Amino acid sequence: MAGLIIKQTPSVIFLLVSFWVQVESDYSQYATPEPKTSTGDGNHLPVVETIHFSGSSRPKPITVNITKVTKIVLSCNLTLLIAHKSPITGMWEKDGNKIDKREFDFDQNTSHLFQNYEFDFQNGSDAGNYTCVFDTNPKSEGRFEVQIPPIWTKNINEIRSDGDHINLTCKSDRYTPLYWIWSKEVKGSKVTLNNETGDRYYIHSLGNKSSLLIKSLIMDNTTYYHCDAVYEVGFSGLRIHLKVNSLVAAVIPFVCIVAEVLVLVIFILVCERKMKQKENLAEGEKIPEKLTIDELPDVTENGARHRKVESTSVQEMQN
């Protein structure tokens, strides 16, 4: 008698993310004294996420965003499409390391394999990729990416010039942190910035958005800045590179172009002058100025003669 025979139904692969919450009263013990964003009494509800998948499909990973100390229940529900020998081993891995292993029999009648993993998310070290693995052939696995929600900024690399100002802004979408921290890297370590750090920093944080305004950048200030959104369970941060070019560096290309144009214009002018001088020289050889002045009386005579010729020719034409 074969262990299990299941009809090879069309591989309807469906991924169902179910999210439900139940009140669990004994979780207040983990609550930190001042949860600014708390929804109420400080009781944290467990987060339950389930991946449903079938066969040896690789379902899309589920992202789980955590900002508060919470109990987390991750579940995998695998529908077998082909016969397997029972028992099948199931296990959980975190970032590739085995964290929980057990063997289990499954309901042969329903052909579903089910395993869950429960843990308390306390701090950033609990974030990671949690994978349920079923020892089927081939292996079946579902992945959960448990994280403190990432933040974002428009440009992770900023370039400015000496004397410019800059407004670095970080956003955390719909997850409002308890507070924001801005810092800059000085010799590899973070130095926290605030309005009092220097007269150039202005930090403005409001809910899910925070900005650091630096007035009048100096070339020396090329460095990395960090913005961190701090939640009850830890922080989510970004490292922004700010490059400040010297004003000289910024205008060098412009100066080069201007210089090129100037050189060209001067060259053209010089050439034109040279050519004009040559022309003048050539013309000067034919009619030297002295001569024209000396022959001035002749010119009038010639003119009179011309007039005579003209009048005779006109008369001839009339005749």
Where on the chain is the footprint of ligand NAG (CB under 6 A)?
52, 63, 65, 77, 79, 95, 107, 109, 112, 114, 122-123, 125, 128-129, 145, 149-150, 167, 169, 171, 173-175, 195, 198, 200, 202-204, 207-208, 211, 213-214, 218, 220-221
Over the range 230-240, which residues count as b (16 or more CB within 10 Å of their CB) and which as e?
Answer: bbbbbbbbbeb
* Least gap, CB of 211 to ligand NAG (angstroms): 4
Residue with Cβ nearer ligand NAG (91 or 244): 244
* Least gap, CB of 274 to ligand NAG (angstroms): 53
Residue with Cβ nearer ligand NAG (167 or 302): 167
Nearest to 225 by CA among 140, 298, 285, 158: 158
Residue with Cβ nearer ligand NAG (199 or 316): 199
* Least gap, CB of 257 to ligand NAG (angstroms): 30
Amino acid occupying residue 278: K
* Least gap, CB of 147 to ligand NAG (angstroms): 7
* Least gap, CB of 132 to ligand NAG (angstroms): 13
Q: Where are any strands of DSSP class E within the chain?
A: 47-54, 62-65, 70-79, 88-94, 97-104, 112-121, 128-134, 140-147, 152-153, 157-161, 166-171, 179-186, 189-193, 201-206, 209-214, 223-231, 234-245
Residue with Cβ nearer ligand NAG (12 or 296): 12
Residue with Cβ nearer ligand NAG (202 or 250): 202
Count other Cβ atoms within 10 Å, centred on residue 173: 13
* Least gap, CB of 93 to ligand NAG (angstroms): 11
Tell me how far CA of residue 74 lies from CA of 3, 47, 118, 232, in angstroms: 28, 8, 6, 21
Please provide the DSSP assignment of 2-47 as one string: -S----------------B----GGGGGG--S--TT--SSSPPPPE
Asked whether the beta carbons of 193 and 201 are under 8 A apart, the reply is yes
Amino acid occupying residue 202: Y
Would you call 294 exposed, middle or buried from its count of C-beta atoms within 10 A (0-12, 13-18, 19+)? exposed
Residue with Cβ nearer ligand NAG (104 or 267): 104
Residue 27 to residue 62: CA distance in whole angstroms:
24
* Least gap, CB of 143 to ligand NAG (angstroms): 7
* Least gap, CB of 200 to ligand NAG (angstroms): 4
Q: Kind of pairing, strands 234-245 and 152-153?
A: unpaired
Residue with Cβ nearer ligand NAG (196 or 316): 196
Residue with Cβ nearer ligand NAG (247 or 257): 247
Amino acid occupying residue 134: F
**CA angle centred on 74, ends 61 and 232, rounded to 5°:** 95
